[in-house]
Structure 1
Amino acid sequence: MSTNIDNADAGKTAPIEIIRSETLAPLPQPPYGFGNHFSDHIATMRYTEDTGWSEPRIVPFGEIPLHPSAAGFQYSQSIFDAFKAHVQPDGSLAMFRPEMHVARLNRSAERMCIPPVDPQMVMALMQRLCDVDRRWAPSDPASALYIRPTIVATEGFVTLRPSREYLLVVFLSPVGDYFAQGSAPVRILASDEFVRAPSGGVGSAKTGGNYAAAMYATRAATDKGYSQILWLDGVKRRYLEEVGSMNIFVRIGGRIRTPPLSDSILAGVTRDTILSILRDSGEAVREEPIAIDELFEAQAAGTLDEVWGTGTAAIVSPVGVIGYRGDEIVIRNGERGPTTEWLYSKLLGVQKGTDGDPQGWRVKVPNSD
């Protein structure tokens, strides 16, 4: 292994120690699937009450030892976020809205009693990791480099309190389509039996416990032939909240609507991006409650134009079928709608640099070579 200290950001952030892997893994070939392959290195930082967040490092990819009674194991005190980097037409690599993802990571940290990270330090660390492993960034149009920062509580103890020690880990993965059917419309099941997150809970935090709690309901949905659960609110179990990996949008009678954010809904960065794109194009999007009954009534009246989900992994995914209480509606005969198609192409164009970026969402990864 070779070691060097990256002082490019000296004076702004702590120097990054880089220990390069002696052997590089062969690159996978598309289609990649989602989360099946991992690059040669990871980035790490450690936190203690005495030192704060320190020791930013890039090291060879490998397993990480944890104490058997670490709070991340015992009490699920962990968070993560995720975003993508895309190869640009000039061959450079650009992250998409990383600052907003780091800001959300810190909001999740606050809710889970985890010390916040310094955004500038984490940005520098993630950019350097992407630079070291930039050969893993796929250049084909349907793929991207997935970036996943994770924080887990590492102190070993068994009393119920926040940990005093944490580990931040960032790994990279070349990814393609999130859903097995690719860009074809998905089938989702609205559930009034299971609840993702109640008001006052941790639904707005990107914490592992939310996803673990969703697995049983999601398996029940897949057993019935659906891809994911469409969660309803935890009180009346009537109003749309989000899908397992996506925020939800509907177009009824020509008007676009999406549920308003709350402490039981994850504030999706892709959701925010799509809202900006729509409003910049002149669409008057409403953020307001949407009852599941409205979708079935609109379908019966012929006014349910489109339904789609948005997320980092799924990008913009059309919904073709919604099941609820033993009934089903098929939207647009199970085909992609024009709004969904346009939004997908527009967003991908901005991410991959083939379209303009007036908002400054693309952040270039500096090339140190």
Structure 2
Amino acid sequence: MHGKIRIERNPNRKTKPGLEEALGFGRYFTDHMFMMDYEEGSGWQDPRIVPYGPISHDPAAMVFHYGQAVFEGLKAFRTEKDEIVLFRPDQNAKRLNRSCDRLQMPQMDEEFVVDAIRTLVRLDADWVPRKKGSSLYIRPFVIATEAGLGVRASSRYSFVIIMSPVGAYYEEGLQPINILVESHYARAVRGGTGNAKTAGNYAATLKAQALAKEHNCAQVLWLDAIEKMYIEEAGSMNVFFKINGEVVTPSLSGSILEGITRNSIIHLLKEWGIPVSERKISIHDIVEAFENGTLEEAFGTGTAAVVSPIGSLLWNGTLMSINQGNIGELVARLYDTITGIQYGRIEDSNSWMISC
């Protein structure tokens, strides 16, 4: 039983960042947050929107010790007609449940999750930025809250949604990024938690991410954990390669997160009649395509950047510049199309946008 969402309005509203301020990512937070609690035997209960603030948990709360924590990320957009819309939130709700299932956490009614997001966005609607390219980032998460040190699934959980106004990922326009191909550390393995959006997956990337920064690279491109050969995903993105006219992306092997933007990109490519395939692709395939001149474009996809052109790959000391480090035609078209749909500049023929 979820029940009706109870709303406790915040009497002390925050000062919102002005249009001239750089919003960055995750620096500011809205006036309210959504919360709901789970107890074994009773289910999910007491859905409520309360003033944004600290949450208190026992030091023995199992999330701190055994890592039962999953999350999602999506955005609310203010269209050119001043309407506030969400991009495919039903898919985020589905993926949240898949992550919960993998970590032995309780399922939630997906329609209720979307309704909770919409209700929270409506209440804090004045936090949805008006500046071009900006949006309201939404972070739902579930954590284990039972106090106990036995290694087992918790019997209590909290579901929380917080929101943060964020600026355009590329403040000065779409920019290619450099990627370090990681051949030592591993992010996930088939049968592990790679296809769940769980906190531990991201903790496992931090060491390699720091090394990438030392090499002037924005992100890491992960290879499979067994053979250290097959491409999986980048730090916060799924990846695509355009080779000799065909777009290729790694197939969902169980160690790769099933991205919602990834799914949308594949759908658009098929609509446009551009050959696209999901299959195993090795770093050696990429090197060969680079050397024979058939590696035409490469890009990452995700909620934060939408589409991110890859300007170069650094692997074993060799720098491979892609499309002379320039933005490719396909990358630009995909970026313009998806952001156009999100901001209401292009017709949403696939019914991806949901009004708040």
Write out per-residue CA displacement over residues 217-243 of structure 1, whole angstroms, 9 at most, x where no aligned residue: 111111121111100011111111000
Residue in 1 aligned with 2:334?
A: 343
Please give the alpha-carbon distance, in whole angstroms, between the structure 1 residues aligned to 2:83 and 2:344: 10
d(CA) in 2 for partners of 1:181, 1:75: 41
Task: Look up the match of 1:9.
Answer: none
Q: After TM superposition, give the deviation of residue 89 of structure 1 in Å.
A: 2.5
What is the Cα deviation at residue 179 of structure 1? 6.7
Partner amino acid, structure 1, of 2:353: R
Gaps of 5+ in 2: none
**Does 2:205 align with 1:227?**
no
* 2:9 alignment counterpart: 20
2:63 maps to: 72
The residue that corresponds to 2:307 in the other structure is 316
Closer, same or farther in 2 for the Cα pair 1:63/1:182, shift >3 Å? Answer: farther
What is the TM-score when the length of structure 2 is the normalising length?
A: 0.97
Whether the aligned pair in 2 keeps the contact of 1:177 and 1:183 (CA below 8 Å) is: no
State how far apart, in whole Å, the 1-side matches of 2:71 and 2:172 are.
26
Counterpart for residue 109 of structure 1: 100
1:310-332 Cα offsets, whole Å, 9 max, x none, are 00112100000100011111112
Q: Deviations over 1:188-238 (max 9, x none)?
A: 111111111011100000000000011011111111211111000111111
- Partner AA of 1:291 in structure 2: S
Please report how far the alpha carbon of residue 273 of structure 1 lies from its aligned counterpart in structure 2 after TM superposition: 0.5
> Residues 334 and 172 of structure 1: is their aligned pair in 2 closer, same or farther, counting only changes over 3 Å?
same
Comparing 119-128 with 98-107, greater Cα deviation is found at 119-128
Match status 1:129 vs 2:120: yes
Structure-1 residue corresponding to 2:75: 84
Alpha-carbon distance between aligned partners in 1 of 2:113 and 2:49, rounded to the nearest angstrom: 12
Structure 2 CA distance for partners of 1:130 and 1:25, relative to 1, 3 Å = same
Q: Which of residues 188, 200, 213 is equivalent to 2:204? A: 213
**Higher alpha-carbon deviation: 59-68 or 290-299:** 290-299
How far, CA to CA, are the matches of 1:104 and 1:284 in structure 2? 27
Instruction: Judge conservation of contact 1:48–1:164 (CA < 8 Å) in 2.
Output: yes
Distance 2:340 2:169 in 1: 18
Does the Cα contact within 8 Å between 1:245 and 1:314 map onto a contact in 2?
Answer: no
Residue in structure 2 matched with residue 7 of structure 1 by the alignment? none
Matches within 5 A, 1:45-64: 45-64=36-55
SS in 2 for 1:126: helix
Structure 1 match to 2:348? 357
Q: Does 1:31 align with 2:7?
A: no
Secondary structure of 2:204's match?
A: helix
Out of 161, 165, 171, the position equivalent to 2:156 is 165
Give 2:194's match in structure 1, choosing from 193, 199, 203. Answer: 203
1:20 is paired with a residue of what secondary structure? Answer: coil
Q: Partner residue of 1:118?
A: 109
Deviations 1:1-46 (A, max 9, x none): xxxxxxxxxxx96211111111211111343111111111100100
Flag the 1:118–1:182 CA change in 2: closer, same or farther, 3 A. same
Gaps of 5+ in 1: 1-11
From 286, 290, 294, give the equivalent of 1:295. 286
* Distance in 1 separating the partners of 2:280 and 2:131: 38
How much does 1:155 deviate?
0.4
8 Å CA contact 2:2, 2:47 repeated in 1:
no
SS of the residue corresponding to residue 113 of structure 2 reads: helix
Aligned pairs for 1:136-285 (under 5 A) are 136-178=127-169, 183-285=174-276
Q: Against the structure 1 CA distance between its residues 222 and 332, is the aligned structure 2 distance closer, same or farther, given a 3 Å change threshold?
A: same
What SS does structure 2 have at the residue aligned with 1:42? strand
- CA deviations over 1:293-347 (Å, ceiling 9, x no partner): 2222212211111000000112100000100011111112211111000100000
Letter of the 1:319 partner, please give it: I
* Separation of aligned partners in 1, 2:200 and 2:298: 28
Distance of 1:293 and 1:24 partners within structure 2: 55
How many residue pairs are counted as aligned between the two chains? 354
Tell me, yes or no, if the aligned pair for 1:188 and 1:319 is still in contact at 8 Å.
yes
Match of 1:6 in 2: none
Contact between 1:84 and 1:146, CA under 8 Å: does it hold in 2? Answer: yes
Aligned equivalents of 2:197, 2:77: Cα separation in 1: 23
Q: Report deviation, 1:50.
A: 3.0
Q: Is the partner of 1:127 in helix, strand or coil? A: helix
Q: 2:295 corresponds to which letter in structure 1?
A: L
In 2: Cα distance, 1:333 partner to 1:303 partner? 13
Q: Percent identity?
A: 40
Alpha-carbon separation, structure 2, partners of 1:32 and 1:140: 10
Alignment deviations for residues 136-177 of structure 1 (CA, whole Å, 9 cap, x no partner): 101222111111100000000000000000001101111124
TM-score, length-scaled by structure 1: 0.93
Q: Distance in 1 between matches of 2:121 and 2:280?
A: 39
Give the residue type in structure 2 aligned to 1:270.
T
- Give CA-to-partner distance per residue, 1:101-134, whole Å, 9 cap, x none: 0000000000000000111221211111000001
The letter for the 2-side match of 1:277 is L
